[in-house]
Structure 1
């Protein structure tokens, strides 16, 4: 069973390992009170990647290490700043299926093979506080890297790593960094040993991390491609968290899928529909598969909260037990759908198609035009669709048809919001303000939809309780509360829409 740790470290270029006179006395950094020598370790690691280095390009690494205190398989995934998540599995001859699965969004099913062997002689020191508690590890590594690709090149270097201990103040890294720099020890140019090994031991390999759209976007196509690249990257990085059932991961991935779909729909004047329409269909499929788990999650939290907030004397019968049984029955099936979708060839084909989209976007003639005119027109077009749906919904009498119309308007509001996000870099404050106001419409209509869905679930629970001879009072009471909540959101919706449809704001978007 793999376990996960958070690793926060910085690397430095070290002049030499045999003579450490260049290394400053770090007890001058508060709260470091002493530096304890922890001896020397010999580490041997083989790094795995695809032939075209898809893991390395996405700032991830997979290795099998022997030696040291953490021998085994390690998958490292990037986190913001100086941190990475390290997922560790015990030593074994074969690559653990769990780690292989966690790389799939990056490898897209391509074969993983040994690409680099890195052997290090590590001199380890612990930076301790006055009570002897560990603050950070300081590792001075003499490194030998050997390419396992078609060539047989070698590289050697020395580097210094400073890794923060669990629970230590991140500001300590900054203070140590300042002390090292003052003594002429500079940060390493490569983010990892793997990256440096590829640069020096395989000098003809393009190993650069995947950072697209580095130059400032100028045209509408530039802006749109940069936005799509960020979304595809986010989708790739969310995959491991979804597979492990991390909190909010399914919701974030589903939202990313919607953003991609919305962007491809709204900016059809920029991208060729023959390419993007099939992609939209596949994004919709995946969103639907993930939707079962996310929708159940939202509904379960809402119903549980409703029961919890009732006075005890109003909870009649085994309400909590029935709700828990309902949750278990539905959650397992929804989770299975998510994992089956992520394990399917269809999903990997979608990831391949998305990567081709951003690497070689199918731009139309309008893509070369100035972004303000093209993107504002597309954004206002989506807003006009929202206006038509909202006018229809607000003009209907209360009832199921109006509930459905409000839900359709809500989906249109999402598309406006996502189109505004894509246009924000080109249109500035006007797109940001419009997106913020449309988000308020989406929030009110979303709360309305959640209340409508909750009513259906509560009615089904009440019927099941009645069939089992249990009191139905509590379920009926909760149903009435949700009905009242839905009607209250209907009353709030016109005001939210009025702000989002303000003519002055729309003129600002246009000009």
Structure 2
């Protein structure tokens, strides 16, 4: 079974002549324990075209040391990675290869680099004996296993924060090291340095700084690329059931789909229609899990807000049973989607789109003109849906129309978000006001879904001989909340409509 830990560390360059400062003098350190030298032997795996290395993901099989086994490192932020571990085996474990599937797209992983390190370890502890960090001096020999047999050698210093430690302590250690002439490493990881220093002669740099966006097409493609990257990066988080990961992946999917639909003058809609349909499918599948999560939270909150005397019968037990059954089914469904060939084909289609985008003449237009046009168009579309909903009497038809307006508000907000780097303050203001509309309509729709669930709970309770009073009471409160949202909508929409970007 794989386990994981959050790894927060800093790396520094060193030479044979480098001498460590007196670590006992680092602020906050009570003692330093020298644990001696450990021999580590690690083989790093990647696809032949180094897909994992390109996004800062590493997969290795390491022997030696206390944590021998398979290690998968997933970037979280600068100097921060999640390390997922599995026991030693001959081949990469399935539980780890599943976590890199959105990157490899099922291409086989092969050994690419071997690193043999002599690690000299020092443990820094606080005066009360609490571990603060581990500082190691690593003498590394790298051998290229795929793409040539070149070797490289270097010495580096690595400072890794102890579990639950304060990241500010790494800054404290870093200042002491730099005062003694020890500089931060330019390489983000040992693997990155090994690949750079053992690359065949004439190999271009693995990464190049992105060009400054100049045209409308540059800005739109940059936004599309960021959403596609978010989907791939969040895949392992969803599989690991990390908090909010399903929601964030679903949002990235919807933003990407909205961009393809809203920028029809930039990207050929006929060429992207099939991909848009697949993104709609993925968002819908992810919604099964997210919607269940939102509904569970809403029903619990409504029940918690009731006086104890109004919670009649085994209402909490029945709600827990319903929630557990729904969550179990939705989690299995989400995992099955991520393991499906259809999902993998979608990721490949995104790569193909970005490699050869179907640009139209609008892609060459001035960014401010083209992006403002897209924002105004989606705003006008939203205005029509809000007007239609407000013209309808209260009831199922209005509920459906308000839900349609909510989706239009979300799309209008996303296109305004994409335009913020170009349009600046007007787009920022529009995003804020559109978010208010979306939130109000979202809460209204959540209430519609909650009422249906409450009715089902009441029917189930009645059939089991339990009181259904509490479920009916909560149903009535949801009706009252929906009516209040509908009364509030005209004012919230008026503020959003006034904030729409004007024609230049």
- Would the aligned equivalents of 1:56 and 1:207 in 2 still touch at CA under 8 Å? no
Is 2:480 the counterpart of 1:484? yes
Asked if the contact 2:148/2:200 (under 8 Å) is kept, the reply is: no
TM-score of the superposed pair, with normalisation by structure 1: 0.96
Aligned to 2:367: 371
The answer for unaligned runs of 5 or more in structure 1 is: none
Whether contact under 8 Å (2:137, 2:158) holds in the other structure is yes
Whether the aligned pair in 1 keeps the contact of 2:147 and 2:200 (CA below 8 Å) is no
In structure 2, the residue matched to 1:13 is 13
Equivalent residue pairs, number = 503
Which one of 284, 287, 294 corresponds to residue 291 of structure 1? 287
Helix, strand or coil at the partner of 2:184: coil
SS in 2 for 1:84: strand
**Runs of 4+ in structure 1 over 4 Å off:** 204-207
SS in 2 for 1:501: helix
Q: What's the counterpart of residue 149 of structure 1?
A: 146
- Tell me by how many angstroms 1:410 deviates: 0.5
- Give 3-state SS (helix, strand or coil) of 1:268's partner: coil
Secondary structure of the structure 1 residue equivalent to 2:77: coil
Structure 2: how far apart are the matches of 1:274 and 1:102? 33
Once the two structures are overlaid, the 10-residue window that deviates more, 439-448 or 23-32, is 23-32
Alignment correspondent of 2:503: 510
The offset of 1:206, in angstroms, is 5.3
1:430 maps onto 2:426 in alignment = yes
CA distance in 2, matches of 1:42, 1:307: 58
Separation of aligned partners in 1, 2:438 and 2:199:
51
Identify which of 130, 134, 137 aligns with 2:134: 137
Task: Select 2:242's aligned residue among 246, 267, 283.
Answer: 246
Give me the CA root mean square deviation.
1.4
Q: Deviations over 1:17-54 (max 9, x none)?
A: xx55x322222320123322110000000100001111
Q: Report the CA distance shift for 1:371/1:433 in structure 2 as closer, same or farther (over 3 A).
A: same
CA contact (8 A) 1:220 1:371 kept: yes
Cα 1:283/1:473, change in 2 over 3 Å: same
Match of 1:237 in 2: 233
Q: Measure, in 2, the Cα distance between the counterparts of 1:50 and 1:93.
A: 17
Structure 2 alignment gaps of length 5 or more: none
Matching residue of 2:84: 87
Shift in alpha-carbon separation, 1:137–1:317, aligned structure 2, 3 A: same
Q: What is the match of residue 72 of structure 2?
A: 75
Moved more, 276-285 or 87-96: 87-96
Contact 2:69 2:85 in 1 (8 A): yes
2:31 paired residue among 17, 30, 34: 34
- State the match for 1:387 in structure 2: 383
Q: Quote the residue 1:4 is aligned against.
A: 4
Task: Answer yes or no: is the 8 Å Cα contact 1:121–1:142 preserved in 2.
Answer: yes
- The answer as to whether partners of 1:57 and 1:207 remain within 8 angstroms in 2 is no
- C-alpha separation between the residues in 2 aligned to 1:276 and 1:481? 44
* Cα separation, 2, equivalents of 1:463 and 1:37: 67
Post-superposition Cα deviations, 1:342-380, rounded to whole Å, max 9, x if no partner, equal 001111111111122223322211111110101100110
Q: How does 1:353-502 map to 2 (within 5 A)?
A: 353-502=349-498
Task: State the distance in 1 between where 2:240 and 2:120 align.
Answer: 35
* 1:280 CA displacement: 0.6
1:444-477: per-residue Cα shift (whole Å, max 9, x none)?
Answer: 0111111111111111111111112211111100
Return the offset for 1:274.
2.8
Measure, in 2, the Cα distance between the counterparts of 1:332 and 1:168: 34
Secondary structure of the 2:56 match is coil
Shift of 1:3: 1.0
CA distance in 2, matches of 1:509, 1:112: 52
TM-score (norm 2): 0.97
CA distance in 2, matches of 1:251, 1:286: 12
- Comparing 87-96 with 455-464, greater Cα deviation is found at 87-96
Alignment partners' CA distance in 2, 1:61 and 1:422: 31
Q: Does 1:65 align with 2:65?
A: no
Look up the match of 2:94: 97
**Per-residue deviation at 1:295?**
0.8
In the TM superposition, residue 207 of structure 1 has moved relative to its aligned partner by 6.5
